[in-house]
């Protein structure tokens, strides 16, 4: 199936007559059990399921409207994004999927409140907010499941950003991806805190798309990954049922380390860590040895996201001076 066919399948006979504009908010998310590896690179279909926490109130607020003639416009945080940039091309190619007529162009205005230096990718929130804003603009009234599938076409992890709280993205099995969507897990955890610790702002030497593909192609360890994910998701679900920070944190941390191990096992190897990443990890492990339940996770970059109970807020603030601390459910 192509991206166009996926969209046609979801929108079926729905009208393409736009309102004056559509707006929506979507949160950023971080995976506690990672999405790493695609079985279909066009439709962003993952090899395995994944499970995340949405970091409300951090996210993207997006407004979209149509215009006749000219070209698409994409304004991010008040700055017009140049038409030749990768970011613009990615958004414009995504919008191609939704044009009522070939010469209908879109104006997209997006604002993110994610601290620039926090090392949290805002593209997941961006594509989820855009899919929701388009739904609003055309008055389609799509289900969350369909919105998740549409967001996935922009970026895999965006499928999880259409919902708040804990979210599981079911990998699905079908070639058309209609069973690959994210769903909210029924769990509130007001005391859960996430700290964002920026380690480096240098551009990545390799993007996650390429690193994933290389891992799937060349890593021996990756063969173990699907089984690993299955057992980690089960452990996380159990931790959510019992609000067990120790089990949640230990599983999320170990899952992130296993993902990075598959990258290291790739040829040529992929290593996102910086010396400061390792120092922060050693500090976290030292605190753990002294009995504190502070854990971390990491994505395709050198930055650290810490997971802990709200009672450790001051300790984390003093020891790490994080860029931001979030309580996704409010304390």
The residues in 108-137 that bind ligand PMV, with binding defined as CB under 6 A, are 121, 123
Measuring CA to CA, how many Å separate 56 from each of 52, 113, 191, 217, 224? 12, 10, 14, 35, 33
Tell me the closest approach of the beta carbon of residue 36 to ligand PMV, in angstroms.
6
The Cα 265–Cα 128 span in angstroms is 32
Whose Cβ is closer to ligand PMV: residue 69's or residue 203's?
203
Q: Does 299 sit near ligand PMV (CB under 6 A)?
A: yes
The DSSP annotation for 33-52 comes to E----EEETTTTEESS-EEE
Tell me the closest approach of the beta carbon of residue 244 to ligand PMV, in angstroms.
22
The residues in 1-60 that bind ligand PMV, with binding defined as CB under 6 A, are 31, 34-36, 50
Stretch of residues binding ligand PMV (CB under 6 A), selected from 70-78, 83-91, 155-163, 242-250: 155-163
Residue with token string 């309580």: 327
Q: What are phi and psi of 309, to 5 degrees?
A: -80, 150
- Binding ligand PMV by CB under 6 A: which of 155, 161, 215, 219? 155
Tell me the closest approach of the beta carbon of residue 65 to ligand PMV, in angstroms.
26
Whose Cβ is closer to ligand PMV: residue 137's or residue 195's?
195
3-class secondary-structure state, position 157: helix
Contact 306, 195 (CB under 8 A): yes
The residues in 188-217 that bind ligand PMV, with binding defined as CB under 6 A, are 208-209
Contact 129, 62 (CB under 8 A): yes
Q: Interface with ligand PMV by CB under 6 A: which residues?
A: 31, 34-36, 50, 121, 123, 155-157, 208-209, 299-300
């Amino acid at each position: 199936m192509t991206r166009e066919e996926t969209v046609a399948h979801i929108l079926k006979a729905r009208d393409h007559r736009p309102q004056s504009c559509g707006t929506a908010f979507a949160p950023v998310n971080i995976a506690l059990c990672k999405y790493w590896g695609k079985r279909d690179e066009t439709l962003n279909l993952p090899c395995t399921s994944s499970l995340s926490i949405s970091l409300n109130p951090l996210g993207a607020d997006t407004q979209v409207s149509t215009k006749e003639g000219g070209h698409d416009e994409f304004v991010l945080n008040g700055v017009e994004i140049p038409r030749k940039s990768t970011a613009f091309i990615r958004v414009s190619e995504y919008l191609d999927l939704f044009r009522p007529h070939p010469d209908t162009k879109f104006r997209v205005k997006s604002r993110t409140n994610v601290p620039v230096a926090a090392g949290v990718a805002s593209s997941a929130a961006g594509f989820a907010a855009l899919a929701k804003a388009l739904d609003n603009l055309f008055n389609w009234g799509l289900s969350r499941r369909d919105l998740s599938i549409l967001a996935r076409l922009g970026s895999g992890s965006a499928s999880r950003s259409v919902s708040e709280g804990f979210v599981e993205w079911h990998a699905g099995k079908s070639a058309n991806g209609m069973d690959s969507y994210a769903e909210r897990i029924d769990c509130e955890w007001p005391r859960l805190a996430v700290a964002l610790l920026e380690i480096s702002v240098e551009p990545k030497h390799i993007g996650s798309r390429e690193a994933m593909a290389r891992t799937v192609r060349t890593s021996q360890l990756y063969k173990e990954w699907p089984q690993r994910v299955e057992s980690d998701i089960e452990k996380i679900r159990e931790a959510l049922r019992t609000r067990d920070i120790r089990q949640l944190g230990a599983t999320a941390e170990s899952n992130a380390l296993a993902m990075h191990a598959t990258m290291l096992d790739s040829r040529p190897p992929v290593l996102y860590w910086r010396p400061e990443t390792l120092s922060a990890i050693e500090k976290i492990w030292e605190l753990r040895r002294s009995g504190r339940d502070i854990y971390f996770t990491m994505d395709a970059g050198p930055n650290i996201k810490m997971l802990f109970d709200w009672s450790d807020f001051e300790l984390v603030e003093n020891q790490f001076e994080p860029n931001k601390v979030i309580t996704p459910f409010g304390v």
